[in-house]
Amino acid sequence: MLERLFQLKAHNTNVRTEMLAGVTTFLTMAYILFVNPSILGETGMDKGAVFVATCLAAAFGSAVMGLIANYPIALAPGMGLNAFFTYTVVMGMGHTWQVALGAVFLSACLFFLLSIFKIREWIINSIPLELRSAIAAGIGLFLALIALQNAGIVAANPATMVGLGDLGSPAALLAILGFFLIIGLEALRITGAVLISILVVTGLSILLGVSPFGGLVSMPPSLAPTFMQLDIAGALDVGLISVIFAFLFVDLFDNSGTLIAVAKKAGLMRKDGHLPKMGRALIADSTAALGGSLLGTSTTTSYIESAAGVSAGGRTGLTAIVVAVLFLFALFFAPLAGSVPAFATAPALLFVAVLMASGMAEIEWSDITVAAPVVVTALAMPLTYSIATGIAFGFITWVAAKTLAGRFRELNGMLVALAIFCVIKLALF
């Protein structure tokens, strides 16, 4: 049955290798089980329900990817997207988390339609590569600021807005230790570096009496507080249009980049650069995002950590199915997730920020019409505490710089239209 479903021989792999790859991928991305409830919980959402929604969304998304596209790519609620959900849409703009879930649902519907009608390539090609790299880097800097705040390493300052926190506090010291631990383990290529760091910092925190221990295993908490609680009507408010599009664009870029990177590593990409079954993979992704919003979590997306499983030999959707099963088993570790303090997940956020900022290396810094929009985009996100605002500033600055430099022909209609829309949005809403 497995051979028929996943064509193992054709992909030069076997069940044992795929299972090992699945376990490897799960260990590298399991940190989301602790980070997601911590971030979304700040909106007032029930953390136990968010934990269950995270497990189920990851299991559902990974299973759909494995069965529909037969790719060794796992899915879970995306980093950056969960921060946008909490700190921009809910805490920044003042919307309820129910409305934010409605925006996630609508963006997933748009993603699904773009995948069905194959408009995805046109949109992605309309956005310059440098601007896409800047958006990823900006999200990384945004996550870094949140991480440093959660750890107490930076704090509010009435004179400078942001200042140095109390580095002598247990939370700050443990967070710093956790970050250094991740760096060391990653350098040694030890699987599950981020997860190990979270568990070590949490263990030390409990032993030192800094945070309480809630237990290890139990029956899963109730999903009722978040299940089907999305407010689609509220998300249709005109002021949320940019939010819906921000969810859509970030998910679109995230997915495309992850699919291409992992497929290349797995040898699934053809010599002409074409990725077979790309449409199926995107449909699986958008379906997972739809399911996640109904369960009660922010946008579910493909994880670049899937590359770890590919390095371990994963070549088919069976790898993703193994990840899905492991996320279902994780449902019984809710007490452990509840015992993880915010400063234990802060190093994970900071490490993700490091990975996302690496895209800045691809920028043509000698071209000021490229460098200026890139810097504006990346800096605007943490400094305005809004991913959507950073994206808007980036589109506007790119179009303005190219136009004033007499290089209007380098622009395309889609980018100009987006820039005009962003100006109207910032001016009126």
Q: What is the model's pLDDT at position 290?
A: 92
Query: Encoding tokens for residue 14?
Result: 């076997």
DSSP 331: G
In sequence order, what are the residues at sequence separation of 6 or more whose Cβ sits closer than 8 angstroms to the Cβ of residue 206? Answer: 212, 213, 339
At 271 the pLDDT is: 64
The CA-atom distances, in angstroms, between 425 and each of 21, 188, 238 are 45, 47, 9
Token pair 């043509």 in the structure block, residue: 364
The pLDDT score that the predictor gives to residue 114 is 85
Q: How far is CA 90 from CA 50, 172, 225, 286, 355, in A?
A: 16, 26, 17, 23, 26
**Cβ distance 387 to 354 under 8 Å?**
no
Structure tokens at 356: 């996302």
> Nearest CA to 71 among 354, 322, 262?
262
- Comparing CA positions, the residue from 63, 6, 66, 54 lying closest to residue 30 is 54
Instruction: For residue 156, give every residue at least 6 positions away whose Cβ sits within 8 Å of its Cβ, in sequence order, or none.
Output: 162, 163
Task: Measure the CA–CA gap between 48 and 169, rounded to whole angstroms.
Answer: 28
Contact 354, 97 (CB under 8 A): no
Q: If we measure between CA atoms, which residue out of 93, 112, 83, 132 comes closest to residue 240? A: 93
pLDDT 10s digit of each residue in the chain, 429 long? 777 788 878 878 888 889 988 998 898 889 999 999 999 999 999 999 999 999 999 999 999 999 998 889 999 998 888 988 998 889 988 899 999 999 999 999 998 888 887 776 677 667 888 888 888 888 889 889 988 988 999 988 888 888 999 999 999 999 999 999 999 999 998 888 888 999 999 999 999 999 999 888 899 999 999 999 999 988 888 778 878 888 888 787 777 777 777 777 777 766 655 667 777 888 888 899 999 999 999 989 888 888 888 877 888 889 999 999 999 999 999 898 889 898 998 998 898 888 888 878 878 899 999 999 999 999 998 998 888 788 889 999 999 999 999 999 989 888 898 889 888 878 765
Q: Are strands 75-77 and 154-157 parallel, antiparallel or unpaired?
A: unpaired
- Reduced to 3 states (helix: H, G, I; strand: E, B; else coil), residue 151 is helix
Token pair in block for residue 192: 């599950």
Integer Cα distance of 243 and 425 in angstroms: 11
Contact between residue 48 and residue 334 where contact means Cβ atoms under 8 Å apart: yes
* Residue 429: predicted pLDDT: 59
d(CA 96, CA 215): 31
Residue 361's pLDDT is what? Answer: 84
Per-domain residue ranges for the chain? 2-353
Q: Distance between terminal CA atoms of the chain?
A: 55
| Cα dihedral 51, 56, 58, 61 sign | negative
Dist CA 43 CA 95 (whole Å): 10
Largest CA distance in the chain: 66
- Which amino acid makes up residue 371? A
Question: Residue holding tokens 């019409």?
Answer: 369
Q: Residue 117: what pLDDT?
A: 79
* pLDDT score for 86: 93
Q: How far apart are CA 45 and CA 40, in angstroms?
A: 6
- Cβ atoms of 57 and 323 closer than 8 Å: no
Cβ atoms of 58 and 292 closer than 8 Å: no
Q: Say what the pLDDT of residue 243 is.
A: 85
